Protein backbone atom coordinates (compact mmCIF):
# COMPACT_ATOMS: atom_id res chain seq x y z
CA UNK A 1 0.00 0.00 0.00
CA UNK A 2 1.31 3.45 -0.90
CA UNK A 3 1.27 6.61 1.19
CA UNK A 4 -1.40 8.02 -1.07
CA UNK A 5 -4.99 8.49 -0.04
CA UNK A 6 -8.31 8.99 -1.74
CA UNK A 7 -9.84 12.37 -1.08
CA UNK A 8 -13.61 12.00 -0.99
CA UNK A 9 -15.33 15.37 -1.47
CA UNK A 10 -19.10 15.50 -1.00
CA UNK A 11 -21.29 18.23 -2.46
CA UNK A 12 -24.18 17.40 -0.14
CA UNK A 13 -26.37 20.22 -1.43
CA UNK A 14 -26.14 18.95 -5.00
CA UNK A 15 -26.90 15.35 -4.07
CA UNK A 16 -29.81 16.45 -1.86
CA UNK A 17 -31.18 18.81 -4.53
CA UNK A 18 -31.00 16.07 -7.17
CA UNK A 19 -32.87 13.69 -4.89
CA UNK A 20 -35.51 16.27 -4.01
CA UNK A 21 -36.09 18.06 -7.30
CA UNK A 22 -35.26 15.46 -9.93
CA UNK A 23 -35.91 12.06 -8.37
CA UNK A 24 -38.67 12.49 -5.77
CA UNK A 25 -40.15 15.85 -6.76
CA UNK A 26 -40.33 16.66 -3.05
CA UNK A 27 -38.12 16.90 -0.01
CA UNK A 28 -36.59 13.44 0.63
CA UNK A 29 -37.61 11.67 3.82
CA UNK A 30 -34.78 10.66 6.21
CA UNK A 31 -34.97 7.00 5.12
CA UNK A 32 -34.63 8.12 1.46
CA UNK A 33 -31.33 9.92 1.96
CA UNK A 34 -27.93 8.35 1.31
CA UNK A 35 -26.20 6.38 4.03
CA UNK A 36 -23.04 8.47 3.96
CA UNK A 37 -20.99 5.85 5.82
CA UNK A 38 -21.49 3.51 2.86
CA UNK A 39 -19.90 6.11 0.62
CA UNK A 40 -16.75 6.21 2.75
CA UNK A 41 -16.63 2.41 2.90
CA UNK A 42 -17.10 2.19 -0.88
CA UNK A 43 -14.26 4.64 -1.50
CA UNK A 44 -11.92 2.72 0.83
CA UNK A 45 -12.73 -0.67 -0.67
CA UNK A 46 -12.95 0.44 -4.31
CA UNK A 47 -9.39 1.72 -4.54
CA UNK A 48 -7.97 -0.11 -1.53
CA UNK A 49 -6.46 2.80 0.32
CA UNK A 50 -7.29 5.19 3.18
CA UNK A 51 -9.87 7.88 2.58
CA UNK A 52 -9.98 11.46 3.80
CA UNK A 53 -13.62 12.50 3.60
CA UNK A 54 -14.73 16.12 3.41
CA UNK A 55 -18.42 17.07 3.47
CA UNK A 56 -19.04 20.63 2.25
CA UNK A 57 -22.13 22.48 3.43
CA UNK A 58 -23.41 26.03 3.24
CA UNK A 59 -24.36 27.48 6.60
CA UNK A 60 -26.47 30.61 6.77
CA UNK A 61 -26.89 31.27 10.45
CA UNK A 62 -26.37 28.60 13.07
CA UNK A 63 -24.28 25.51 12.51
CA UNK A 64 -26.58 22.46 12.20
CA UNK A 65 -24.86 20.66 15.08
CA UNK A 66 -26.84 17.39 15.04
CA UNK A 67 -26.00 16.91 11.33
CA UNK A 68 -22.38 18.01 11.79
CA UNK A 69 -21.96 15.63 14.74
CA UNK A 70 -23.49 12.78 12.73
CA UNK A 71 -21.10 13.45 9.84
CA UNK A 72 -18.14 13.55 12.23
CA UNK A 73 -19.15 10.28 13.85
CA UNK A 74 -19.27 8.65 10.39
CA UNK A 75 -15.71 9.74 9.61
CA UNK A 76 -16.33 12.93 7.62
CA UNK A 77 -14.66 16.21 8.26
CA UNK A 78 -17.47 18.75 7.87
CA UNK A 79 -16.55 21.93 6.01
CA UNK A 80 -19.20 24.53 6.99
CA UNK A 81 -19.07 27.60 4.76
CA UNK A 82 -20.73 30.99 4.60
CA UNK A 83 -20.68 33.85 2.14
CA UNK A 84 -22.76 36.47 0.44
CA UNK A 85 -26.15 35.75 -1.08
CA UNK A 86 -24.66 35.47 -4.58
CA UNK A 87 -21.76 33.21 -3.52
CA UNK A 88 -22.03 29.51 -4.30
CA UNK A 89 -19.79 28.81 -1.31
CA UNK A 90 -19.85 25.02 -1.58
CA UNK A 91 -18.91 25.12 -5.27
CA UNK A 92 -16.15 27.66 -4.66
CA UNK A 93 -14.68 25.62 -1.79
CA UNK A 94 -14.80 22.35 -3.72
CA UNK A 95 -13.21 23.98 -6.77
CA UNK A 96 -10.39 25.34 -4.61
CA UNK A 97 -9.94 21.96 -2.91
CA UNK A 98 -9.75 20.17 -6.27
CA UNK A 99 -7.13 22.68 -7.42
CA UNK A 100 -5.10 22.05 -4.25
CA UNK A 101 -5.32 18.28 -4.77
CA UNK A 102 -3.99 18.77 -8.31
CA UNK A 103 -0.67 19.74 -6.68
CA UNK A 104 -0.50 16.32 -5.02
CA UNK A 105 -0.48 12.78 -6.39
CA UNK A 106 -3.48 11.55 -4.38
CA UNK A 107 -6.63 10.07 -5.88
CA UNK A 108 -9.97 11.85 -5.79
CA UNK A 109 -13.66 10.96 -5.68
CA UNK A 110 -16.19 13.76 -5.98
CA UNK A 111 -19.82 13.16 -5.04
CA UNK A 112 -21.72 15.65 -7.19
CA UNK A 113 -23.60 15.89 -10.48
CA UNK A 114 -22.53 19.51 -10.93
CA UNK A 115 -20.77 20.63 -14.11
CA UNK A 116 -19.21 23.58 -12.25
CA UNK A 117 -16.35 21.20 -11.39
CA UNK A 118 -15.58 20.12 -14.96
CA UNK A 119 -12.45 22.30 -15.39
CA UNK A 120 -10.93 21.04 -12.14
CA UNK A 121 -11.79 17.38 -12.82
CA UNK A 122 -10.45 17.74 -16.36
CA UNK A 123 -7.12 18.97 -14.94
CA UNK A 124 -6.98 16.02 -12.50
CA UNK A 125 -7.59 13.26 -15.08
CA UNK A 126 -4.08 12.39 -16.18
CA UNK A 127 -1.23 10.02 -15.44
CA UNK A 128 -1.62 7.42 -12.74
CA UNK A 129 -4.01 9.42 -10.54
CA UNK A 130 -7.44 7.83 -10.17
CA UNK A 131 -10.39 10.20 -10.42
CA UNK A 132 -14.04 9.31 -9.91
CA UNK A 133 -17.28 11.28 -9.96
CA UNK A 134 -20.11 9.81 -7.91
CA UNK A 135 -23.69 10.81 -8.59
CA UNK A 136 -26.74 9.73 -10.51
CA UNK A 137 -25.93 8.65 -14.06
CA UNK A 138 -28.97 10.28 -15.62
CA UNK A 139 -28.47 13.60 -13.80
CA UNK A 140 -24.68 13.89 -13.95
CA UNK A 141 -23.49 16.77 -16.11
CA UNK A 142 -22.89 15.33 -19.59
CA UNK A 143 -19.45 16.97 -19.76
CA UNK A 144 -18.09 14.28 -17.46
CA UNK A 145 -18.83 11.57 -20.05
CA UNK A 146 -16.18 13.03 -22.38
CA UNK A 147 -13.58 12.62 -19.63
CA UNK A 148 -14.38 8.93 -19.21
CA UNK A 149 -12.19 8.12 -22.25
CA UNK A 150 -9.25 9.75 -20.44
CA UNK A 151 -9.74 7.67 -17.30
CA UNK A 152 -12.48 9.36 -15.30
CA UNK A 153 -14.53 6.75 -13.48
CA UNK A 154 -18.26 7.46 -13.36
CA UNK A 155 -19.86 5.89 -10.28
CA UNK A 156 -23.58 5.70 -9.55
CA UNK A 157 -24.49 6.51 -5.94
CA UNK A 158 -27.42 4.08 -5.86
CA UNK A 159 -26.33 1.20 -8.10
CA UNK A 160 -22.54 1.11 -7.57
CA UNK A 161 -22.17 2.50 -4.04
CA UNK A 162 -25.48 1.04 -2.80
CA UNK A 163 -25.87 4.05 -0.54
CA UNK A 164 -29.63 3.82 -0.07
CA UNK A 165 -31.93 1.68 2.05
CA UNK A 166 -34.78 2.15 -0.45
CA UNK A 167 -35.04 1.78 -4.21
CA UNK A 168 -35.18 5.22 -5.76
CA UNK A 169 -37.91 5.91 -8.35
CA UNK A 170 -35.42 6.51 -11.17
CA UNK A 171 -35.97 6.07 -14.87
CA UNK A 172 -32.83 4.64 -16.43
CA UNK A 173 -31.75 2.61 -19.41
CA UNK A 174 -31.55 -1.00 -18.25
CA UNK A 175 -28.84 -3.26 -19.67
CA UNK A 176 -30.65 -6.39 -20.89
CA UNK A 177 -28.55 -8.58 -18.57
CA UNK A 178 -30.00 -6.67 -15.61
CA UNK A 179 -33.61 -6.59 -16.82
CA UNK A 180 -36.04 -8.35 -14.49
CA UNK A 181 -39.65 -8.31 -15.75
CA UNK A 182 -40.87 -8.77 -12.17
CA UNK A 183 -39.71 -5.22 -11.46
CA UNK A 184 -42.44 -4.05 -13.84
CA UNK A 185 -45.28 -6.42 -12.99
- Please report, for the chain, the start and end positions of each structural domain, with discontinuous segments joined by +: 6-183
- Residues 62-83: b if buried by 16+ CB within 10 A, e if exposed: eeeeeebeebeebbbebbebee
What's the Rg (C-alpha) of the chain? 17
pTM: 0.91
Digit-by-digit pLDDT tens for the chain (185 residues) are: 457 899 999 999 999 999 999 999 999 998 999 999 999 999 999 999 999 999 999 998 888 899 999 999 999 999 999 988 889 999 999 999 999 999 999 999 999 999 999 999 999 998 789 999 999 999 999 999 999 999 999 999 999 999 999 888 887 778 899 888 888 88
pLDDT of res. 1: 47
Could you tell me how many residues make up the chain? 185
Question: How many C-beta atoms surround the C-beta of residue 144 within 10 A?
Answer: 23
121 Cβ contact list (under 8 Å, min separation 6):
98, 110, 131, 133, 144, 147, 152
Domain formed by 6-183, architecture: 3-Layer(aba) Sandwich (3.40)
Region class of 67: left (phi > 0), else alpha (psi between -120 and 50), else beta? alpha
Amino acid sequence: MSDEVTYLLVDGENIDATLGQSIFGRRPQPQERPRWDRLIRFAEEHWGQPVKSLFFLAVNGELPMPFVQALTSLGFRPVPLSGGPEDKVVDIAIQRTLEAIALRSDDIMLASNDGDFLPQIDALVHGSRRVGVIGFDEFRNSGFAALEQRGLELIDLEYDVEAFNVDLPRLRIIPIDEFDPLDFL
